[in-house]
Chains A and B, each alone.
Chain A
Amino acid sequence: MPDEFAVELINVAKQFDQVVAVDNVSLQIRDGEFFSLLGPSGCGKTTTLRMIGGFEMPTSGNVLIGGEIQGFKPPFQRPVNTVFQSYALFPHMTIFDNVAFGLQMKKVSKSEIKQRVNEMLELVQLSDVGRRKPNQLSGGQQQRIALARALINKPKVLLLDEPLGALDLKLRKAMQLELKALQQRVGITFIYVTHDQEEALTMSDRIAVMNQGKVLHLDTPEEIYEHPANRFVADFIGETNFMEGKVSQLNEERVFVAVDDQVPVPLLPTRDVQLGQVVTVAVRPEKLSVSAEKKREVDIPGTIDEVIYIGTDIRYIVRITEKTTLAVREQNRGGLSAQRFSIGDHIHIGWYARNASLLTE
C-alpha cells in the first residue's frame, strides 16, 4: 500500500451551472502538515475546501480522508472539522455550549465534556468566558472559540477558510503565529484557505497555488517563492521582474536568453528548452543590485528611470531596453558603504544566475 495521506483529492472537479469552480484537481496532503490553498478571489479555494468537508459534492473525482473514499458522505459523517470564515458560532448558546456541541452530538458523558471543554478553553487562553454569549466576545476571541469548538473533537484534519480574514492587521499577524504554534502542538493536519500570500508563506509547510480552478504550483513556500513554476505564480507571490526573449544559446552550464532580442541574460539550464523558443525570465527585485561597475556574474547595463525611497528600502526602476524596465530593491543600510544613484545615472544591474527563473508558460 502506498503512503497514507491525511487527505487526497483525485481528479476532483466541481461545476456550478455554467461555472467550473474546480477543474480536475489532484492533491495529496500529508499527515500533520500545515497545508495552504492560496489564490486570487474566485479561484475555487473555498469550493475545494467545502468538498473535503462534505458541504459540496464533487461533479467528478474522489475525495479521500485517511485513505477512505468519502463519496456522498454528509459532513456529520466525516472525520474533519471546519473553522468558518464568519466563525458561525451559535448565537443562542453560551460559549461553553458552543465548544461542547460536537461532544454532545457524539453523546460523550457530561463529566468528560466539562473537563475537555475547560481544557480547550484554557488552550485558547479564554478560560473565563464560558458563560458568555458569542456576541459578548471580540472578533479575535470569537475566532479562538471557533477554533476551540472544532479542535475539541480531535479531528484528523482541520479545515480553515480564511479564519483571520475579519481581523485587523496587527491581530492577524499575532494570530498567524499563534495558529501555527497551536498546530504544531496538537499535531493535527491543517488545510488553510487564504488569498494572502504573505500569510501562506509564513505559516505553511506546503502551499498549493490555485487559479481558475486549477492547481498551478504545489510546493514548499521557499520553492514556490524561489522557483515559481510559471508566470502566474511568480506574479501572484511577491514581486517579480519579467523579461521576454528568445533562447539564443544553449550549453551544459548556461542557457542564454536574448531579452528583447538584444540583451543576453545567462540562466541555469532548465528542463527542455529549445533554441529560438520564446520564454520569460523572472527575477525578484531584492535579488538585484545596482552598482557603478560590473560586480556580479550576470551584468546588464542600464539607466535609472526612477528612484523611490521607501524607508527600509530604496527602489530603483532601471531601463535596460526600450521595452523593459527592472525594479531593484536595495536595502537602505545608510552609512558610507551605501552609494545612492539618481535619475539618469548609467549603472550596472547585477545578480547571480541561480536567482533567476526561466518560465515557459
Chain B
Amino acid sequence: MTKRLNPQAMKTPFRFKIGRYILTAHGLLSYVFLYAPIIILIIFSFNASKFVTGRWHGFTLIWYQKLFVDEAIGAALRNSLYISLVATFVSTIFGTMVSLAMERYNFWGKMPFDALLYLPIIIPDIAMAVMLLLFFVMVKIPLGKLTIIISHIAFDISFVAIVVRARLAQFDSALEEAAQDLYANNWKTFRYVTFPLLMPGILAGALLAFTLSLDDFVITFFTAGPGSSTLPLRIYSLVKLGVTPEINALSAVMLLASFLLVVLSVWLQKGGDGKVDFM
C-alpha cells in the first residue's frame, strides 16, 4: 500500500530492512512473553483432566459448568458486581465534576489539589490499601462491602477524572458560548451541549473504573470483611488450596469480560471530536 504511494519506500537500504525485521521480531516476542501464560491458562480451562498442568486429555466444558453451579463463586460474583457498579456510579459523578472544576475554574490552591487528585494512580496499591485499612479502623467503620466500595471510589475517581479531562481539554468553549447566545441558561447549556459532547469521555471513564474495580485485589483484600469476598479474593483463597481447572475457567471468563470492557472504553475515547452519534 504505502509502497505504491511512496516511491522512497522501495529504495530502503538493506541494513534498514534488517533493522525492521529485528524490530518486528522483538515486538512479536514481547507479545508472546505477555500473552503466552494467558493463552496456556485458557487452553487448560478446556482440558478434561483434574490437573492444570501436563497432558492434554481432550476437550471439555465441564469446568465452566461447575463454575456456574458453584454457590460460593456465585456469591463472590454478586458481591463483585454490586461493589463495582456502586463504586463506578459514584466515582463517575465525582470524577466528572472534579474534572469540570479543574478544567474550567481557577481557584486558590489548584495546583497541589490537581497533583493530589492523581496520586492514587501513582501510589503503590499496597500503600493505599494499608492507609485505607488504618483509616477505617481509626474511624471505626466495620470492614465489609461498604469499606470496599469507599476504597474503590477513592481510586476510581482519579481514573475517571483523567479520562474526562482529556475529553474536556479538546472541547471548544465557543460551543458553550453559542448555546448561551441562543438563550440556553447555564443548566440548559450543560444539558444540551456540554454533557452530550462529554458523554463518550464519561462513559469511557466509567468503563475503566468498572474494570479496575472488578479486577482489584490488593486494596480489596485489605478492606474486606467477613461475607464481602469478591471474585478475585475468592480465586485467591481457592488457589491457596491448590489450583484446579475450575480456576482456569473462572480466570478465563474474567479475562474476557475485562478485555471487552477495555476495548469498549478505548473505542469510546477514540470516537473523539464529538462525531460519535450513538447518543
Residues on A lying within 8 angstroms of B by beta carbon are 53-55, 74-76, 81-82, 84, 86, 88-92, 101-102, 105-106, 133, 135, 149-150, 153
Contact = CB atoms under 8 A, between A and B. Distances in A.
14 contacts: A76-B182, A76-B183, A76-B184, A81-B181, A84-B177, A84-B178, A88-B172, A88-B177, A89-B178, A90-B178, A92-B197, A92-B279, A102-B183, A153-B182
Contacts of A74: 180, 185
B279 A105 contact: no
A92 B196 contact: yes
A147 to B, nearest CB: 13
B188 A53 contact: no
Nearest to A86: B174
A105 B183 contact: yes
Contacts of A106: 183
B190 to A, nearest CB: 13
A150 B277 CA distance: 24
Contacts of A54: 180
Interface string B170-213: 00101101111111110010001100110000000000000000
Nearest to A159: B181
A86 B181 contact: no
Contacts of A82: 177-178, 181
Nearest to A105: B183
B194 to A, nearest CB: 11
Interface in B224-279: 273-277, 279
Contact of B172 (A86, A101, A149, A150): A86
A105 B188 CA distance: 8
B252 to A, nearest CB: 38
Contacts of B181: 53, 55, 75-76, 81-82, 150
Contacts of A55: 177, 180-181
Give me the 9 closest cross-chain CB pairs, A-B, nearest first.
A91-B274, A102-B182, A88-B178, A88-B174, A105-B183, A75-B180, A76-B183, A82-B181, A101-B182
Nearest to A80: B181
Nearest to B276: A92
A76 B185 contact: yes
Given A76-B180, A86-B174, A101-B179, 11 more contacts: A55-B181, A74-B185, A75-B180, A76-B185, A82-B177, A91-B275, A92-B276, A105-B184, A135-B275, A150-B182, A153-B183
A101 B112 CA distance: 40
Contacts of A86: 172, 174
Contacts of B184: 76, 101, 105
B38 to A, nearest CB: 38
A149 B178 CA distance: 10
Q: How large is the interface on B (under 10, 10 to 19, 20 to 34, 35 or more residues)?
A: 20 to 34
B182 A105 contact: yes
A81 B185 CA distance: 14
Given A91-B197, A105-B183, A133 B178 contact: no
Contact of B277 (A53, A102, A133, A153): A133
Given A75-B181, A76-B181, A101-B182, A92 B174 contact: no
A76 B277 CA distance: 27
A75 B172 contact: no
A90 B192 CA distance: 10
- Listed residue (A53, A92, A149, A150) with the most chain B CB atoms within 10 angstroms of its CB: A92
A289 B123 CA distance: 80
Nearest to B177: A55
A298 B93 CA distance: 78
A81 B188 CA distance: 17
Nearest to A106: B183
Contacts of B276: 92
Contact of A91 (B188, B192, B273): B273
A149 B174 CA distance: 15
Given A91-B273, A92-B277, A133-B277, A149 B182 contact: yes
A56 to B, nearest CB: 10
A318 B201 CA distance: 66
A90 to B, nearest CB: 6
Contacts of A88: 172, 174-175, 177-178
A90 B180 CA distance: 12
A190 to B, nearest CB: 15
Contacts of B180: 54-55, 74-76
B193 A90 contact: yes
